[in-house]
A and B are shown apart, each in its own frame.
Chain A
Amino acid sequence: MGRLALHDLSLAQGGRTVLEHVEGQFPDGAITALIGPNGAGKSTLIQGIMGLLKPSRGRIECAVPRERRAWLPQQLALDLSFPMSVEELVMTGTWPSHGALKGYCGPHYRQAREVMARLGISHLAHRPLGELSGGQRQRALFGRTLMQEAELLLLDEPFANVDIETVEVLTGVLRDMAGQGTTIIVVLHDLDQLTRLADEVLLLDNGHARWTTPQAVIDQPTRGTRRVSPFMPTQDADTPHA
């Protein structure tokens, strides 16, 4: 049984229907890739699942409480020039249990250190976010997500602008989380990552959704996916931004 199910779901943005009659269950402990061309409604569906957008028809059944749902937007949506260190960013992941007021204590700092060690960013703990490379920032953001101990995790193109080593570390982290039962939904454009990462695929196109498998997508590439050599896209991504 899945914790997250869509029943005859329709979603609209600004009066325009983006998705219609979406059915299906996201399997627990598995990674579902959300693919489709730009404007197919991937972000809209994510907003719906996060409860930021009301369905215009049908419903979203989600057994995961709000504070156990985590959402990692594209890096570009974040103001990473904010004067904050990696450790501080990771610690904000305690929001579900701590909210605005409770103080952090020893065990949480220990947990943050473990999280950073697992992501290979322990040496960057006190570095400001603005001085990190794309890959390092993405690891830090994953750190925040890990601290949230999410049962449902949504990611929007987590591997855009990220170096290969980071992709491998993060893929491992996601697989581990799925192994522990987390429901993971990830927006992907890259077919190579699709085969390595995803168990299931929800293909969005033209307002409709179709469930399929990574293999079927590979055999018959559709709009909105690209096959890129694993060594191509991210060579320059590791240079720090000013």
Chain B
Amino acid sequence: MLELLNSLFIAPFDYGFMQRALVAGLALSLAAPALGVFLMLRGMSLIGDAMAHAILPGVALGFLMAGFSLPAMSLGGILSGLLVAGLAGSVSHMSGHREDSAMASFFLISLAAGVMLVSLGGSSVDLTHVLFGSILAVDSTALILIAAISTLIVVVLAVVFRALVVECLDPLFLRGQGMAGGLVHGIFLGLVVLNLTAGFQTLGTLMAVGLMMLPATTARFWSKRLEGLIGLGILLAMFATSGGLLLSYHLELPSGPSIILLAGACYVFSALLGRYNSLLAKLRRRDAPLEPRAAE
């Protein structure tokens, strides 16, 4: 029995590439879900997707100029992500249109530009790597970069946490208190870009969003408190990364999709059987008698 457990859960991590993959995934799992929770609560669940496309041209440029160098590609990704976020913000400010329409326009431009750049300079294999990543190819440099970015995100998030909460609830409150409008929002979007850049090596630009959003949306079926959402999101992300890695190892599946699909399975399970607002909770509520009215 012990031997079986060992061969199922422990032995795979004897390999260096599995160890690095696990550590990279767990580091991302600490940072990404909290961002996802705030994106979800701000009604910006799809912005993560848009930003993921926005970092593509920078990653491609970094790749063209420095070859397959993670620091160069990450730097390019951060710069182009911040540029797109800034441009989208200023266009929506200037035109008065909603930010998501500007964001949609810019991310489509970025996607096309990114694919164009990668195709001009490399083969389709490179493109696949950038789009879908490969967590098993994480080397020590990449690992340090991912851990550093995740740490930075957690620390900055802790600093702006209260401001972010207050701003989500009542955006004008902080402006009334003399805080520059959009400052908190800008920092937050910057963190999202950073996180996606850290994630693209492991999961690819497109699926890095998955580790951010799926744990957050899943947690919503289990908790109604902010701390609960974030804590549960982190646990779910950790479960999905380690479980996904093991699945991919034993069943010889691609690792990135395994991780995200496992997170997705948690989401579907929770939507059906979760504690709040799931299908089961709705069915149960219909049968429950009227709650006695609390004394006011």
Determine the distance from Cα of A77 to Cα of B173 in the docked complex, in whole angstroms.
11
B227: nearest residue on chain A (CB-CB)?
A83
Contact B178 A67 (CB under 8 A): yes
Range, interface on chain A = 20 to 34
Answer yes or no: A123 CB below 8 A from chain B CBs: yes
B170-192 interface with A by 8 A CB criterion: 170, 172-178
- Chain B residue total in the interface (Cβ 8 A): 28
B146-161 toward A: CB 8 Å interface, digit per residue (1/0)?
A: 0000000000000111
Residue B168, interface by CB 8 Å = yes
Question: Do the beta carbons of A84 and B165 come within 8 Å of each other?
Answer: yes
Q: Are B172 and A71 within 8 A (Cβ)?
A: yes
Pairwise interchain contact A84-B172, C-beta atoms closer than 8 A: no
User: In the complex the two chains form, is A84's CB within 8 Å of B162's CB?
Assistant: no
Query: A105 at the A/B interface (Cβ < 8 Å)?
Result: no
Q: Is the CB of B177 within 8 A of A96?
A: yes
Chain B residue contacts of A123, Cβ below 8 A: 294-295
Q: Residues 63-89 of chain A: 1 if any B CB is under 8 Å from the residue's CB, otherwise 0?
A: 000110111010001111011110001
A217 within 8 A of B: no
CB <8 Å contact, A83 and B177: no
Q: List the A residue with the shortest CB-CB distance to B41.
A: A82
- Could you say which residues of chain B place their CB within 8 Å of the CB of A67? 177-178
- What is the bound-complex CA distance between A70 and B225, given in angstroms? 27
Q: Are A79 and B160 in contact (CB under 8 A)?
A: no
**Contact indicator per residue, chain B 214-234, by CB within 8 Å of chain A (1) or not (0):** 000000000111101100000
Which of A50, A83, A84, A89 is within 8 Å of B176, CB to CB? A50
B166 lies within 8 A of chain A by Cβ: yes
Complex CA–CA separation, A164 to B255 (angstroms): 60
B272 within 8 A of A: no
Query: Quick check: B178 and A66 within 8 Å, CB to CB?
Result: yes
A128 at the interface (CB under 8 A from B): yes
> In this assembly, does B273 line the interface, its C-beta being within 8 Å of a C-beta of chain A?
no
> Given A67-B177, A83-B226: A95 and B170 within 8 A (CB)?
no
Distance A100 CA – B163 CA, assembled complex (angstroms): 6
* B169 CB–A CB distance under 8 Å: yes
> Is A52's CB under 8 angstroms from B166's CB?
no
Cβ-neighbour of A100 out of B160, B170, B172, B226 (below 8 A): B160
Contact partner, A101, options B159, B172, B295, B296, Cβ 8 Å: B159
Point out the residue from A51, A78, A120, A128 that lies within 8 Å of B169, measured CB to CB: A78
Given A100-B159, A100-B163, the answer on whether A82 and B177 have CB atoms closer than 8 Å is: no
How far, in angstroms, from A145 to B162 measured CA to CA in the complex?
17
CB-based contact B172/A77 at 8 Å:
yes
Whole-angstrom distance between the alpha carbons of A130 and B277 in the complex?
A: 13
Q: Across the interface, do B168 and A79 meet the contact criterion of CB distance under 8 Å?
A: yes
**B96, B166, B226, B228: the one within 8 Å of A95 (CB):** B166
A83 contacts B229, CB within 8 Å? yes
- Counting chain A CB atoms within 10 Å of each CB, the highest count among B175, B177, B228 belongs to B177
Interfacial chain B residues near A78, Cβ < 8 Å:
169-170
Quick check: B177 and A73 within 8 Å, CB to CB? no
Q: Given the interface contacts A67-B178, A123-B294, A123-B295, does A79 sit within 8 Å of B172 by beta carbon?
A: no
A-B contact pairs, 7 of them (CB 8 A): A50-B176, A67-B177, A79-B41, A79-B170, A92-B173, A95-B177, A123-B294
Which residues of A come within 8 Å of B, CB atoms? 14, 50-52, 66-67, 69-71, 73, 77-80, 82-85, 89, 92, 95-96, 100-101, 120, 123, 128, 130
